Structure formats: C-alpha cells, structure tokens
Structure 1
Amino acid sequence: MNTAALSIDTAVLAAANADSNIALMDSLKRTNATWLDATVHRLEQHITPQVNCTDCGNCCNTLMINVEAQEADTLAQHLAISRQQFDDTYIEKGSYGMMLMNAIPCSFLSANKCTVYEHRFGGCREFPGLHLPQVQQRLFTIFMHYERCPIIYHVVEALRQMDLPQGEA
C-alpha cells in the first residue's frame, strides 16, 4: 500500500462489494482469531494516518452516539452549562437510563471538525474500533460501517487480498 492519502469517497466502491462481503465475513469468522486481531491492528495502524478524518466526517454526520453520565457531566462542565441544560439541549433519554445524542449530524460538529474534541464521548474516541481486541466478535459491526468509514473500508479491502489462515486461536 502506498503512503499517499487514501480515498475517503468509498460508498460507491463499497456498494459494489456488498454481495462478496457476506462471503468474506464468513471466511473471517473461520480465520484464526489471534492472527485476525494482529493483522487488523497492524493494518489499522498503517491505514489510519493515510485517511484525513476531517475530510470525511461520515461518522459524525451519520451515527447515533451513546453518552455515559460521566461524559455528559464532563461536557456540560466544559460548556459551562448545567447538566440539566446539557440534557435538555443535547440528549435523548431511552429506556434503562440509556442516553443518546439527540441530533444527527452531531451537534458538536462544525466544518467536519469536532468542536469538543478534547472532551468527546468514548464512542467517538473509539470509532472505528479496529484497534480493539476480539475483531471476530465484532465483524457484524465492522461490516455495518464498511461503506461509512474509509478506514474500515481500506482495512477490509486489504484483508480481502490476503490468504486467511483458518482455525481456532
């Protein structure tokens, strides 16, 4: 893979692979899990610097963001508003205490940049999550974001070109 910036306009490219992605996901489920984690982590470290997230912003423009109480407290304090005002302005409360940002795109997105970057939510910090362990257990989620996230797209396309070792880890 070259070091030039990778395409962030992947939706059309990704749509062409929709059918073959089912077979690829099935193959990845049978791949050695330790190998898959290490390979995805290595690819993610190589690909991420080649994608300018602020030129993309698909995650911030299209995802529902879960918010933890502590995150809401921290961001309310940063914004110098009460927690109640924060909740009333930015939060949709669901069952079992679940909280979500109440707007898509994210209310804190401006010119494809996060205006609260240092205080952003955990889900935002972790996305696209390719650095996390147990890739095999998250394949559905990874493929769900395949069209949305150029990093995921390019990692999956690199995996597609590999001979996948089969077997349990």
Structure 2
Amino acid sequence: MADQNKKENKAFLDRLKKKKPKDLDQQFHELHEEVFDEIDCLDCGNCCKTTSPIFQQKDIERMAKHFKMRPAEFVTQYLVEDDEHDFVFPAAPCPFLADDNYCMAYEARPNACREYPHTDRRKMHQILNLTYKNTLVCPAVSDIVEQIKINYANR
C-alpha cells in the first residue's frame, strides 16, 4: 500500500512539515500505540531485512560487550563506515536477525533499533522525511500515516 501511495504520502508529509500542527505528536503517539497493539513486528522483520541502523560509539561498545569482543573487533567484523562517516552494516539483512525474525542481540541492540520506527518521538515534524522513508519499510508506519491523512482530511 505504501508503494502505491508514495507520491501522495510524500506530498502529505511535506505539507505537515511546513504546517507543524500542534497536535501532531499526540496524533502519532496515539496511533503508534493503537497500531502496535495490532501488529507484531516478529511477523514482518522488514526493517531488519532491508535497512541498517547507525551505530553510535555507545552502541558499538554495548554490542561488543554482548558478544564478548573488543569494540574495534566488533567494528572490523560487522561494520563499515558509510559516506556520511556513520558506522553501519555493509549489507542487509542484519547479521543478528534469526530465521524467526528474533534478534540475537536484542538486549544489546543499537539505539536506532530500540527507537525504530520513531513514531513515538517528540517533535515529529522534524523527522517527517524519515517517517516517509519508513512508510516504505514498515507496515505499521504506513498504517499510522494513512490514519493521520484521514484525521487531517476531516478537519
């Protein structure tokens, strides 16, 4: 559905970014709770299959400790530095994604994974470009944006 609505979603989120509605965070947070009461991420795992989180130094240290490695070893074995000088996985899927969509490093996972899909953050208007990209990866984000479009159309 998100693929079919790509242009519409992009235009809608661009308009929201300019308007900065005062209740935007509240809308996202309420819908985040509703949607994730219905959707089980383990049924999908698309985020882990298609994208890489950005690893901050604390993430590297936590993951290295989890796997009983030195941080430099973890970087050498699992990460590359991208064009923006961020540490990421060299390819998808995540090397820690099991066949049943469970994460083999769940307790130590990077902050970007902990916060994904970022639909319960404050100041949502600041990350609507990311939200758009996430509609193409995460069915839950797509559902949230579709509902927000309906809510704002009724105003």
1:108 to 93, 96, 109: 96
Counterparts of 2:78 and 2:102 in 1: how far apart (Å)? 18
Q: Which moved more, 1:45-54 or 1:96-105?
A: 96-105
> Which residue in the other structure is 2:135 paired with?
146
Deviations 1:111-133 (A, max 9, x none): 21111101000000011001111
Counterparts of 1:147 and 1:97 in 2: how far apart (Å)? 24
> Which residue in the other structure is 2:29 paired with?
41
CA RMSD, Structure 1 to Structure 2 (Å) = 2.1
TM-score normalised over the length of structure 2: 0.88
TM-score normalised over the length of structure 1: 0.82
Q: Which has the larger radius of gyration?
A: 1
Deviations 1:108-165 (A, max 9, x none): 1112111110100000001100111111111111011112101111101101111369
> Which ranges of structure 1 fall in alignment gaps of 5 or more residues?
1-12
| Greater strand share, structure number | 1
Counterparts of 2:126 and 2:153 in 1: how far apart (Å)? 17
Higher relative contact order structure (alpha carbons within 8 Å, sequence separation ≥ 6): 1
Structure 1 runs of 4+ aligned residues shifted over 6 Å read none
| Conserved 8 A contact 1:15-1:147 | yes
Counterparts of 1:25 and 1:119 in 2: how far apart (Å)? 32
The percent of aligned pairs where both chains have the same amino acid is 28
> Which ranges of structure 2 fall in alignment gaps of 5 or more residues?
none
Secondary structure of the structure 2 residue equivalent to 1:109: coil
